[in-house]
Structure 1
Amino acid sequence: MTAELYYVREGQINLYALNFLVPVPATIGELNFTWQSLARKPLPYSLRVDVVSNPEALHTPTLSIASTGFVPTEPQTWQVELPCTRTVAAEVDVTISLNVSIGSNSTVVHFRRRKICLKDSPRPAVRVDNAPHSATSADIFYAGAGCAGALLLIAAVAAAGCRARARKLRRARSEEQDAHAFLPDSSCKSAASYTSYRRPTSVPTVAAEERARDLQQRIAELTIQRCRVRLRSVAMEGTFGRVYRGTYADEDGREQEVLVKTVAEHASQLSLLLQEGCMLYGIHHERVLSVLGVSIEDQTAPFLLYPWGSQWRNLKQFLLACRGVTIGGATGCAPPPPLTTQHVVRMALHALDGLAYLHSQHVLHKDISARNCVVDENLRVMIADNALSRDLFPADYHCLGDNENRPIKWLALEALSKKQFSPASDVWALGVLLWELTTLSHQPYAEVDPFEVAAYLRDGYRLQQPANCPDELFAVMAYCWAMSPDDRPTLPQLQIFLRDFHAQLTRFV
């Protein structure tokens, strides 16, 4: 496939893209760049390619254009060849430096690449659109991560250094959809079909009336007697919601640890609690935490019960505790151990496996995040529903004037602006969850106003690479945030890559 990455557009430099070290797989030996001067005249440039590391693995890079000259006023494509010596296997860091001048003002941009060279590997091809099904897992993923064609538009780039361009940010508004959706059978594909990123862009939902009947049926099947539930301590508390630790005794008198969610007696909150709490009912998987029972009795608040362990914790609270922060009245747990990259990747795989199972059962989650996951004492992660999350984590949700509190900074662009949800929008949110894991649950886009997030994403900006985050792991996140849903990796691709990456980490530890 061919990927496009804009570094300069309409005079604005994309610092996010420039700071990203793009891996170039062994199957790609040539990078294509397209540029154009929008200053109505050719702009003088100078171009240099530097091999930063492991020069013995790479022949001297060559340019298809002169190292000095003028940026043309018409679109022009040029190439940088990165030929491996094939005498040694190594990762070679390469920096392509471009200096463009207008008058006394100069602007320099650096494009960073990491070329993968293999010993005695076959001569690489420029394009890998028709990758065979027998390609290795790394080849399949890096076909996207390598950016075979990087599209560079020099839009009066020198002017970007001497003038700021005012830009109006548009606020996204669109019609409402159901909180959660089911996927049709046709949307599920086998692992063998994932050598391409193409996929359906929209998924139909079930009729609202059918969903309402389904919810009533689920509540009837889940109903338990209140007298069998015993509350012990408050685990979390919000404005109108409360989460307890407790026990539940079955008909044979056997007790088990449970988590109990409840709300004050407000009709709107009662309905939302039951709707969201029953979303995962009937899902049985080791990486999914689904509701155990529901208690609705007259004159009392409803109870939602979940199976629980004495050392289980909300994942967001756990990550915050790793850096000494406590929220939501969380109590009763020992400080967590330091997390390594190996831990983070394994936890990400757990969440990925849980989400893959939900999709296999035709369920879209629509709110994948650390706050909606659970972690046990062995760092095993489970995906949970989002019941009470708006109340317990109010800083993670915002209303954009449409009377709906949404996780704005976790949503894919199409979900944010058009309320279009699909497996690909869950993949986007999964990328933000990976970012939460590596940052110990810092707030994404903390400096961006919620009303401006849609325009910010539309302009090509994304979350920055966290400190101490391996390039390989950040590449996974970055491609989860591709503008088009069709260009995002599929869950099977992510599973293959993260398992391979975890195996590499294990070998080196």
Structure 2
Amino acid sequence: MAVACLRLLQCENVLKLRQTPGYMCLFHLKEANFLISCDLSVLCPSGLDAELYYVRNDMVSHYALSFNMPVPTETNSLYFTWYSKSKVDYRLAFFIENPVALSPPSANISSQGEMPRLPSVFRVDMDCSGKLDEEAFLTMQLNLTSHVNYTVLNFKRRKMCYKILFRSVDGVPTPTTSTQVFYISVSVCCIVIFLVAIILAILHLHSVKRVEMEDSVSDSGSSQGLSQPSTQTTQYLRADTPNNAASVTNNHPGSAPILQLAASSFQNPGVPPHETKSYPSLRIEKNDLRSVTLTEAKAKVKDIAISRDRVTLRDVLHEGTFGRIFHGVLLDEKDPTKEKQVFVKTVKDHASEVQVTMMLTESCKLRGLHHRNLLPISHVCIEDGEKPMMLLPFMAWGNLKLFLRQCKLAEANNPQAISQQDLVYMAIQIACGMSYLARREVIHKDLAARNCVIDDNMQVKITDNALARDLFPMDYHCLGDNENRPVRWMALESLLNNDFSSASDVWAFGVALWELMTLGQTPYVDVDPFEMSAYLKDGYRIAQPINCPDELFAVMACCWALDPEERPKFQQLVQCLTEFHAALGAYV
């Protein structure tokens, strides 16, 4: 059988983790043999786009066929466009799991016959009976027979049906006293809820202001060791946009049948106006960090400089070609008997002046910011004749990426070592820290698990990317412009135009969330870095991780919308993930 794929357009309000009306799907066999497509009567109001391949490269995707797609309650008809250039016989059948809730489906074509040679449309009606409140399950079976083979395709749909309380007479509903009482009660409840929401919003704004003034300095424990990178093959997801809706054949290695959920709208009426405005954009010229001299970089941190004698270096936690991170001890300035554990970032003796300058400059990215989920530098040592040292508060479990990979190695012996709820809690903390940066109009530009640290109480903090290129060289690539960049974490506009904004940070957050759910795997591991921009432009994304809930993957997909304005804001992500975390807790 020729190459085949199914394209499915689905509307979903990811913020509330429930669907909104209407979606469209497309199934077609390539190489001009035959094509089948279906189009639901209601299009997505938000332009949400998704794609699901059922058959590809002569292989039937059992995963895709087993996926039960939801149909909005108000959608009653599905429209299919199909044709075949060669003789193909078909047989159409329907199977209903609960016929009481769903009326028998019907089609405006015969149950068997020959596929048309020219594109034509047929309709399948999927109406609720209105007899009871229940979710109905429908399987549409299409048997295709050609002179070469025989193929059976089962398209699964589910639809929530509701009981009709009263019927209309001559098309005009007959209101009753109980109905009027019902609507009055609903109105009163809505008013009460609205007032409560206003009170909660005021309390929340006050709490946010308190949180922004907190200085999160954490002192504790021991360090984590290192682990080797994972080499697991990654699947990819294709996210067509209105400007890129055509089907594209994937010739990249490691690609497989893929589920696609790409959201173009993540609006929440409850978000304050300052959170729904357009993202501030920052155009970064190449090699802008190298324009700063070492003397200028030292002058910027002179006010937090301390004596080298107050710092004692202990174990080496992480080491690269020219950079090192130590577990150190900082003596109190007033009381030498008091000690504070710190991370110490420094360079080796053979480090160049450019490398030292870059470490100093990048270490200042979060300086002066105070939030419980941020870890800025606290002190520096910049004495003449000595290599500079950057000091940060110590976090017992160290680098988040290395911690996740250790958890993956320990999974076989201790599957309960880290739960899905723990991972979502980490994501919430990262989103909180990034929401604070977005409010302060600070753009991180390198958000990833490697640039976060974690404590022994599961507290996660975002840090700067100083020395990250040296300590994680496989995560950065030079695309011929003599600049190492985190290509696999970057938004398309950043790759093509060097444009950075809070929206590009949202894209990177989606990849970081994917890192959490895969316990530190490398995204797009099978894609050539030089092809990343073309790969993303064609609509491909990393696929849903194993054991990752659909709702959580939909959040990731929203972060990867091609249009920066269509990506969610960090405050919306915090709210969405918090609700999802609470839902997970309800099942524990």
Same fold (TM over 0.5): yes
Residue 310 of structure 2 is aligned to residue 228 of structure 1: yes
- Residue 250 and residue 232 in structure 1: after superposition, are their counterparts in 2 closer, same or farther (change >3 A)? same
Indicate the SS of the match to 1:290.
coil
Superimposed CA distance per residue, residues 110-143 of structure 1 (whole angstroms, 9 cap, x where no aligned partner) = 76666566788999xxxxxxxx9x99x9xxxxxx
The amino acid of 1:290's aligned partner reads P
Query: Could you say which residue in structure 2 is the equivalent of 1:342?
Result: 421
2:281 corresponds, among 181, 187, 203, to 203
- Residue 233 and residue 479 in structure 1: after superposition, are their counterparts in 2 closer, same or farther (change >3 A)? same
The amino acid of 2:361's aligned partner reads Q
- State the shift of 1:192 in Å: 2.9
Superimposed CA distance per residue, residues 461-497 of structure 1 (whole angstroms, 9 cap, x where no aligned partner) = 2212211112221221222222322332222332222
2:346 corresponds, among 234, 249, 262, to 262
- Residue 153 and residue 324 in structure 1: after superposition, are their counterparts in 2 closer, same or farther (change >3 A)? closer
- Residue 40 and residue 433 in structure 1: after superposition, are their counterparts in 2 closer, same or farther (change >3 A)? same
1:368 corresponds, among 438, 444, 447, to 447
Indicate the SS of the match to 1:313.
coil
1:59 corresponds, among 102, 114, 117, to 102
CA distance in 2 between counterparts of 1:459 and 1:291 reads 40
2:483 corresponds, among 404, 416, 423, to 404
Alignment of 1:211-360 (within 5 A): 218-253=300-335, 254-264=338-348, 265-309=351-395, 311-324=396-409, 338-360=417-439
- State the shift of 1:59 in Å: 1.8
Residue 523 of structure 2 is aligned to residue 416 of structure 1: no
CA distance in 1 between counterparts of 2:100 and 2:322 reads 62
CA distance in 2 between counterparts of 1:26 and 1:194 reads 29
Query: Could you say which residue in structure 1 is the equivalent of 2:520?
Result: 441
- State the shift of 1:199 in Å: 6.1
- State the shift of 1:200 in Å: 3.4
- Residue 319 and residue 267 in structure 1: after superposition, are their counterparts in 2 closer, same or farther (change >3 A)? same
- Residue 206 and residue 372 in structure 1: after superposition, are their counterparts in 2 closer, same or farther (change >3 A)? closer
Alignment of 1:69-108 (within 5 A): 81=126, 83=128, 87-88=132-133, 104=148
User: Contact 2:73 / 2:161 at 8 angstroms: preserved in 1?
Assistant: no
- State the shift of 1:320 in Å: 0.6
Alignment of 1:176-187 (within 5 A): none
CA distance in 2 between counterparts of 1:122 and 1:491 reads 44
Indicate the SS of the match to 2:281.
coil
Higher strand share: 2
User: Contact 1:58 / 1:83 at 8 angstroms: preserved in 2?
Assistant: yes
The amino acid of 1:314's aligned partner reads N
CA distance in 2 between counterparts of 1:304 and 1:110 reads 60
- State the shift of 1:406 in Å: 1.2
- Residue 151 and residue 303 in structure 1: after superposition, are their counterparts in 2 closer, same or farther (change >3 A)? closer
CA distance in 1 between counterparts of 2:494 and 2:25 reads 22
Alignment of 1:474-489 (within 5 A): 474-489=553-568
CA distance in 2 between counterparts of 1:153 and 1:111 reads 22
Query: Could you say which residue in structure 1 is the equivalent of 2:534?
Result: 455
- Residue 204 and residue 445 in structure 1: after superposition, are their counterparts in 2 closer, same or farther (change >3 A)? closer
User: Contact 1:7 / 1:152 at 8 angstroms: preserved in 2?
Assistant: no
Structure 2 unaligned blocks of 5 or more:
1-10, 12-21, 36-49, 55-62, 168-189, 198-238, 254-266
- State the shift of 1:221 in Å: 2.5
Indicate the SS of the match to 2:540.
coil
RMSD: 4.7
CA distance in 1 between counterparts of 2:556 and 2:397 reads 26
CA distance in 2 between counterparts of 1:288 and 1:119 reads 51
CA distance in 2 between counterparts of 1:222 and 1:86 reads 72
- Residue 416 and residue 150 in structure 1: after superposition, are their counterparts in 2 closer, same or farther (change >3 A)? closer
- Residue 83 and residue 305 in structure 1: after superposition, are their counterparts in 2 closer, same or farther (change >3 A)? farther
- State the shift of 1:33 in Å: 6.3
- State the shift of 1:324 in Å: 2.2
CA distance in 2 between counterparts of 1:166 and 1:370 reads 28
- Residue 408 and residue 228 in structure 1: after superposition, are their counterparts in 2 closer, same or farther (change >3 A)? same
CA distance in 2 between counterparts of 1:416 and 1:32 reads 39
The amino acid of 2:102's aligned partner reads H
User: Contact 1:202 / 1:422 at 8 angstroms: preserved in 2?
Assistant: yes
The amino acid of 1:313's aligned partner reads G
CA distance in 2 between counterparts of 1:57 and 1:294 reads 72
Query: Could you say which residue in structure 2 is the equivalent of 1:330?
Result: none
The amino acid of 1:312's aligned partner reads W
- Residue 59 and residue 423 in structure 1: after superposition, are their counterparts in 2 closer, same or farther (change >3 A)? farther
CA distance in 2 between counterparts of 1:82 and 1:488 reads 34
Superimposed CA distance per residue, residues 228-287 of structure 1 (whole angstroms, 9 cap, x where no aligned partner) = 111111010011100000111232134211001111331111121112111000111111
- State the shift of 1:81 in Å: 4.4
User: Contact 2:102 / 2:126 at 8 angstroms: preserved in 1?
Assistant: no
- Residue 190 and residue 198 in structure 1: after superposition, are their counterparts in 2 closer, same or farther (change >3 A)? closer
Alignment of 1:1-150 (within 5 A): 24=70, 29=75, 55=98, 59-60=102-103, 62=105, 66=109, 81=126, 83=128, 87-88=132-133, 104=148, 115=159
The amino acid of 1:294's aligned partner reads V
Indicate the SS of the match to 1:275.
helix
CA distance in 1 between counterparts of 2:29 and 2:494 reads 24
- State the shift of 1:353 in Å: 0.9
Larger radius of gyration: 2
- Between 1:297-306 and 1:471-480, the stretch displaced more is 471-480
Fraction of identical pairs, as percent: 37
- State the shift of 1:220 in Å: 2.4
User: Contact 2:448 / 2:489 at 8 angstroms: preserved in 1?
Assistant: yes
Structure 1 unaligned blocks of 5 or more:
124-131, 138-146, 170-188, 326-334
Indicate the SS of the match to 1:421.
strand
**Count of paired positions:** 447
CA distance in 2 between counterparts of 1:31 and 1:198 reads 35
CA distance in 2 between counterparts of 1:449 and 1:199 reads 35
Query: Could you say which residue in structure 1 is the equivalent of 2:209?
Result: none
User: Contact 1:7 / 1:15 at 8 angstroms: preserved in 2?
Assistant: no
- State the shift of 1:391 in Å: 0.9
Residue 588 of structure 2 is aligned to residue 506 of structure 1: no
User: Contact 2:447 / 2:505 at 8 angstroms: preserved in 1?
Assistant: yes
Superimposed CA distance per residue, residues 51-77 of structure 1 (whole angstroms, 9 cap, x where no aligned partner) = 67xx47952585775477757866969
- Residue 480 and residue 154 in structure 1: after superposition, are their counterparts in 2 closer, same or farther (change >3 A)? closer
- Residue 42 and residue 409 in structure 1: after superposition, are their counterparts in 2 closer, same or farther (change >3 A)? farther
User: Contact 2:476 / 2:487 at 8 angstroms: preserved in 1?
Assistant: yes
Query: Could you say which residue in structure 1 is the equivalent of 2:207?
Result: none
- Between 1:21-30 and 1:353-362, the stretch displaced more is 21-30
